[in-house]
Structure 1
Amino acid sequence: MYSEAVSLADSARPISNLTGCCTFSEESFRRLERCPETMKSLGGVLVTLPVHLAKGCTLSRRGRLRSQSISEESLMLSGDNMRETMRTAQLEEGAPACLLPTAYCLLRRLMTRRILILILVASTIVSPLALFAEEGMWLPDISKSLPVARMRLKGLALKPEEIYSTNGPSLKDAVVIIGAGTGSFVSAEGLIITNHHVAFSAITASSTPQTNYIENGFLARSRAEEIPAKGYTVSITRSFTDVTAQVLSAVKEGMTAEERQKAIDARSKELVDAARKNDSALQYQVVDMFNGLSYYLYAYEVLKDVRLVYAPPKSIGFFGGDPDNFEWPRHTGDYAFMRAYVGPDGKPAEYSEKNVPYRPKKFLTISMDGYKDGDFVMVMGYPGSTFRYRESYSIEYRQNRLYPYQIEILQALIDLMTEASKQNQSLAIKYADQIFSLSNAVKNFQGSLQGLRRSNLLERKRADEEQFMQYVNGAPALKVKYGGLLQQFAELYRELKSFDMRQNILSGLINQSETLQLLSAAVGRALDREKAEQQRSPAYSETAIARVKQAIPEMVKQRDPAFERKVIGLFLEKAGNLPRGEKVESIEKLFAGKSGEERKGAEAEFARKLFEQERFSSAEAILKLFDLSAQQLKDLNDPYLNFVIDSVTELQSMSKRTERFNAGVTKLRPLYIEGISSWKKTTLYPDANRTLRFTYGEVKGYKPRDAVWYQSQTTLSGVIEKDGGKEPFDVPERLKQLQARREFGRYLDRKLGDVPVDFISTADITGGNSGSPIMNGRGELIGIIFDGNYEGLGSDYVYNGDLSRAIAVDIRYVFFLTEKFSGADYLFKEMQIRGGESNKQKAVGR
């Protein structure tokens, strides 16, 4: 499923020396703070969804995630639902493994009670617009980039200013970032519709064995019963302004890659600070497009009080589970309703019983008229990451190194969590969201890997680059400018491959064990305090550490030692299998002189004795470590603390190498895109980076393989046909009764003779689009995007109009379930519904 997170936008850059993890730019760090979901980092595992990545994220958080200053190629983090798969800071490609500072990862993990994954994917050069009219995730001011006249012939009935305007209400005011995905306002009272999987973290966070909202669903019968969605925010784009000239004016001739990036980061911060000074009610970020060819200043209104209103049970919201994930035909009711609140003064505020529903400038009208094959549709949302302009070295790295590792390590974690979940219901609830996100990420990676291989993209890209160099070598001026590009990329990737796997494994070991992660936070704090004040990381500020300390008692209480022991064993085994010359120094020091069965026994003993140490057995004991200096920690001469100190130091060293890699590719890529586009004379759109985008297409089936044609719609009868009586194909009894009695009401599609469930279109989407509204030409809501098809998973690299499809749940199925199954049709009273028999209802809103 598509949720992103993701995904960090392509604009974040490394900051220096974040203790214990990879480095992020200050701007990236702020973005991460706005994305709780992204922040639930899966420490140390290269994943790319959604940020929840990942399922943004997630990445789908069931989707894709992405990261940031950690190398883009190897990073792992994930998306608020990383949340906000991440508002999305973008990560460079470099070495992964090092995550956010351990303290920061801990804080987010504790606040959201979830693990996020950062998913990374590569990209390639886009085809000319003339080849695929639907290709591209365009900036929403469509009058500047898209053939509006031709779109009108297809069915667009809105004026460009009704889609995007800063002078009056437009669709941009109705479409929001929520969690690791996207949502849209559907009432004047702040009601938001999104995906079940985007809201899943809120559902699990409020579930207990006694009130299991995962299995039973949740319904608030009144505003007073709506429950806080912990860790969620809602972000609304208010404007975006081209600031390319201002940002690049900071770059001077002769700057090194690192100096250039620091200058860009500093100038971006100046622009953000100036904007904030002018209007402190909004939040700002500078985002790069085309990997740094251009820069935009975005302004967001961020709402901090988000509540869960209604979500169907998992047997509807995630019907088909992992077997159906990314597949078509699909029969999932992947939707949920949430609500945004503000303070009594109408300004964003933290949760309070005194808060009142937010009144959006614009909300969407619901259409019950349906659609047919060939109908024009459009999607607005916040896609997390695509990589359609990446060099062949990036694709080779992902195809042959990153994806295989990610798939292997994440599947191993899923297996361990699944085994732990069988112990009791409390553990099942604890791991439900993580299993959900990781499973989505694994299938995403598998599909992306298959898509890369099936499309022969690497070979095509190399052939393109060979022709490009022939073009360059034919003109002296071009040779001076572009002649050394590919060789410089080759050298950077050679350096990356010399340390990336050990970085991933060591970071995974530290961050996937909650106990080692806590120790790493204490050590990182102590080491950070030895630096000059201006060099210290915000992750270890007094405020940040105070929040970590506050959360530690609950974290220690929730620890699962049996699971941690197995996770530690998993990563120690991976470390032991690394080839000579690529070993993890801190781990080899721990088991010096041991091999074979002797080493396996020592690894098991290390994991077992960690939980027998009195110094780490209680929250009180661990809290004391945060008050010690680095020297005092060393003086304890504790083997576990010594190991963590060595590991943090080793990770810091590798983070500096990652930073150099990121700075290097960041400097080269704008030049690469400029040269390729000049040679190909291609119409370009910017890669997705978690900013608001517009895409369009048509309702259309596809041919996945020889002699097979998939129609564009599924129905309720198909849901019943899949019923197997047990998860994930367990149709609720009440739904079976409704179908048997044909109690379809106004939701019957007379042409189908059934209730429509899901449908597909050629709209170009990716992780982070989960929950995006899919609309007809009048801008009326006809469905909610929740996934992409397996055959189209390679579209993060190159769009294929014959195979790539966006999967959406039909709004008529949503309303059928809301009314007939759950009895929640009271929500309709605050919506504006048109078409079908619904026009008999009194419309409320605008």
Structure 2
Amino acid sequence: MWTYDAFPAAAVKASHGFEPSREWLDHVRLSSVRLAGGCSASFVSPDGLVMTNHHCIRSCVEDLSSPKRDYLATGFYAKAPGDELRCPKVEANQLVEMTDVTARLQGATQGLGGSAFNTALKAEMSKIESECATGPELRCDVVTLFNGGKYHLYKYRRFQDVRLAFAPEFSMAAFGGDPDNFNFPRFGFDAAFIRVWGTNGQPLKTDHFLSWAREGAREGDLVFVSGHPGGTERQSTVAELEFQRDVALPYTLLHLSEMRGMLREYASASPERWRTTRAKLRSVENGLKALRGRHQALAEPSLLGDKRKAEADLRAKVEADPKLKATTSGAWDAIARALDAYRPLLAEYKLKEGGDGFPSELFGLARQLVRAADELPKANAERLREYTDGQLPALRQGLLRDAPITPELEVVTLTFGFNRLRETLGADDPFVQEVLGREAPEELARALVKGTKLFDVKERQRLLEGGRAAVEASKDPMLLLARRVDARAREVRKRYEDSVESVLKKNGELLARARLAAYGTTGYPDATFTLRLSYGVVKGWAENGRTVAPLTTFAGAYARHTGKEPFRLPDSWLEAQGKVSGETPLDMATTHDIIGGNSGSPMVDREGRVVGLIFDGNLPSLGGRYAYVPETNRAVAVHGEGLLRALEHVYGANRLVKELRANQR
């Protein structure tokens, strides 16, 4: 997961005989796209066409659907530019500049500890971002690398007019459903195309885009993945990994398991409930399986055994260096103590501030409005991070999105959250009493959803622009609830930030500096949802006495069809059987080091041409959060050749095919 400014081009040449030039790297970087909701993508034509995964823009497809036009079921294809539909919630970012601001951040926090360190760090980050973001068309983020050993300022071009051009059926994008998720062989067509439109009302013109390869990738080929891995913990302390294994992951696994059961029961009651719930259910199932894999990886004694050895080695180097020892040796104990303090606090923090007690779009909007009214009048550096000047365009887009919210689903999810609050904190807890009073969870949820006006974008705009006076004058029940619980939610957030987050950041930075001093900067930093480049080859693996081939085919997809979900091919594919050679590759496995957030990443060859589209990993890759194991860790991608053939012969998306083939080489 290499940053573009430190990519080991010479090492690639030594092992594969190809050295990417700076021009090559800059072109692929500028052709790469980040979807602000948590995915990757890429420009694939000079007219702003962007390739990503279906599951990355599933919420857009769902927002554009209705009971009469279910695009998740039927798929979507815009036959003309004017038919492309704007995605209410999608923001695309293009990384245009990276600047090292380590000295400035470390200077601002020098000699500070605890909450003072955290406050100074966040204030300086906000100041740097505000200086950089000179207009709404720019997004600037100070990113933490090497766990605080380095800080970089990433400047992005921000695009908020993003329109849907093509999406297959949900059933084909997620073919195989939960049973096939994180498995291989795989036969999913998890691909979609959106388009960035410029401020002139025309598709964006871009000089940097990835052309399509005439020849697809084959077994053994060197290929590259450019994307935004969300987060890894490969440099975390043993105490932090044990906390994940023993406290954080069990809590979240229980929460997601109960939510999955609730959503399954709700969705089974009617076709319309299924239509409005399947995307959320799929997301919960995906998260549950991913986190279960992480937990199993941490439960494997060899993984933590290796981590203990690595930590002991670093401790020995620190002890042997008087200067490092003076500033670093107590960091491990400080982190362990902070995590001990977090154990009894985690559930309270997650429920009150983290959203688990209020899993509702409407409540989320209400909380944003309440906090915006409080935060925006403050000086930029004094605000909560999500309300700083640099975040305002994204905040406005989220609050003013014109997307449907399903009342019945809101009632069910709020009821679930209220029950979780009462069950976890206890019926006599003051916060629970503040929320429920004498109401039953379902009755309160129903009254809140029925009484709120926050479904209306114009009402949300009025409240946002009216500021504190408008919010305090409102009698909207959802706003009143958000105001009623905000003080206690902020209080637990402050306790977490002062006693846990600040200690982990400060001491994590000390350990990061020690690690850099001991081992240098030859490695790559943990993933932080920042752009990275990974290199690898198309390759299968051996597991439990079987050999897994790296390529699947169209014929394999038809053979896997049973006619019953989740192994039912949609009618478009059944009607197209025979139009594409059965030997055409459909999906492939590669040795790339990826993690969640890489979904939608383009896979390119030595010439920088598209040969695939990342959409998943195999089960062993789930342990990649903590360590990469090259023997079995595999990324899973839609094959570039199969993707283009399906667009043309299954979906008849001739306009897009022509656009992609125009620059094919």
TM-score by length of 2: 0.87
The equivalences for 1:444-463 within 5 A come to 444-454=290-300, 456-463=302-309
Residue 717 of structure 1: how far off its partner (Å): 2.0
In structure 2, the residue matched to 1:236 is: 94
Shift of residue 574, structure 1, vs aligned partner: 2.9
SS in 2 for 1:674: helix
Residue equivalent to 1:288: 144
> Displacement, 1:356?
0.8
Q: In structure 1, what is the equivalent of residue 558 of structure 2?
A: 720
Instruction: Tell me the residue number matched to 1:217.
Output: 75
Inter-partner Cα distance in structure 1 for 2:380 and 2:513: 40
Cα distance, 1:491–1:676 mapped onto 2, change above 3 Å = same
Deviations 1:580-630 (A, max 9, x none): xxx8442268899xxxxxxxxx7xx52244257599735399989989999
Mapped contact 1:334–1:786 kept (Cα < 8 A): yes
Deviations 1:126-149 (A, max 9, x none): xxxxxxxxxxx11123xx541426
**Aligned pair partner of 2:613 in 761, 779, 784:** 784
Q: 2:192 aligned to 336, 351, 360, which one? A: 336
Q: What is the identity, as a one-letter code, of the residue corresponding to 2:96?
A: R
2:210 is matched with which residue? 364
- Contact 1:176–1:184 (Cα < 8 Å) also in 2: yes
The unaligned stretches of length 5 or more in structure 2 are none
Within the candidate set 584, 594, 597, 1:755 is matched to 584
Matched, 1:673 2:512: yes
Deviation at 1:540, TM superposition (A): 8.3
* Pairing 1:709–2:555 present: no
* Residue 644 of structure 2, aligned match among 815, 826, 829: 815
Q: Deviations over 1:283-318 (max 9, x none)?
A: 322222112211222221112211111111122211
Q: 2: distance between equivalents of 1:658 and 1:339?
A: 40
Residue by residue, what CA displacement relative to the aligned partner does 1:762-800 show, whole Å, maximum 9, x if unpaired?
111111111111111121111101111111111121111
Structure 2 SS opposite 1:798: coil
What is the aligned counterpart of 1:261 among 118, 135, 138? 118
Identify which of 587, 593, 599 aligns with 2:432: 587
Residue of structure 2 aligned with 1:146, choices 8, 30, 51 = 8
Aligned match of 1:803:
632
Higher relative contact order (CA 8 A, sep 6+): 2
- Kept in 1, the 8 Å contact 2:554–2:584? The answer is yes
Question: Does residue 1:574 correspond to 2:419, yes or no?
Answer: no
Q: Which amino acid aligns with 1:691?
A: T
**Does 2:503 match 1:664?**
yes
Helix, strand or coil at the partner of 1:659: helix
Aligned to 2:569, which of 713, 731, 735?
731
1:374 pairs, out of 202, 220, 233, with: 220
Q: 1:806 to 1:547 in 2, by over 3 A?
A: closer
Q: Distance in 1 between matches of 2:136 and 2:596?
A: 30
Deviation (angstroms), 1:547: 8.9
Matched, 1:161 2:23: yes
1:688 aligns with 2:517: no
Q: 2:656 is matched by which residue type in structure 1? A: L
Corresponding residue to 1:172 among 29, 35, 47: 29
Task: Show the counterpart of 1:493.
Answer: 339
Residue 476 of structure 1 and its aligned partner are, at CA, apart by 4.0
Distance 1:173 1:235, change over 3 A: same
Q: Check the 8 A contact 1:207/1:429 in 2, yes or no.
A: no
Taking structure 1 as reference, are residues 290 and 317 closer, same or farther at Cα in structure 2, changes over 3 Å only?
same
Partner of 1:77: none
Q: Which runs of 5+ in 1 are unaligned?
A: 1-136, 165-169, 345-354, 578-582, 593-601, 833-842
CA distance in 2 between counterparts of 1:416 and 1:693 reads: 37
Query: What pairs up with 1:134-533 in 2 under 5 angstroms?
Result: 137-141=1-5, 144-148=6-10, 150-151=12-13, 154-156=16-18, 158-164=20-26, 170-178=27-35, 179-253=37-111, 255-277=112-134, 282-344=138-200, 355-454=201-300, 456-507=302-353, 508=355, 510-513=357-360
1:425 maps to a residue whose letter is P
Deviation at 1:265, TM superposition (A): 3.2
> How far 1:675 sits from its partner (Å)?
2.4
> Aligned with 2:61: secondary structure?
helix
Q: Per the alignment, in what secondary structure is the counterpart of residue 110 of structure 2? A: coil
- Write the distance in 2 (CA, Å) between the matches of 1:550 and 1:272: 23
Number of equivalenced pairs: 652
| Other-structure match for 1:103 | none
Alpha-carbon distance change, 422 to 365 in structure 1, aligned in 2, over 3 angstroms: same
How far the C-alpha of 1:337 sits from its partner, in A, is 1.3
Structure number with higher helix proportion: 2
Residue 359 of structure 2 aligns with an amino acid whose one-letter code is Q
Q: Assess if the C-alpha contact under 8 Å between 1:155 and 1:375 holds in 2.
A: no
Structure 1 pair 570/287, CA: closer, same or farther in 2 (3 Å)?
Answer: closer
1:799 partner amino acid:
Y
Deviates more, 1:210-219 or 1:753-762: 753-762
Per-residue deviation, residues 215-234 of structure 1 (Å, max 9, x unmatched): 11111111111111221122
TM-score, structure 1 normalization: 0.70
Q: What fraction of aligned residue pairs are identical, expressed as a percent?
A: 28
Q: Which of 440, 450, 457 is the aligned partner of 1:606?
A: 440
In structure 2, how many angstroms separate the alpha carbons of the residues matched to 1:697 and 1:536?
Answer: 43
Q: Any conservation in 2 of the 1:182–1:769 contact (CA below 8 Å)?
A: yes
Partner Cα separation in structure 2 for residue 549 and residue 777 of structure 1: 42
Q: CA deviation at 1:700?
A: 1.0
- Whether the 8 Å CA contact 2:358–2:417 is kept in 1: the answer is no
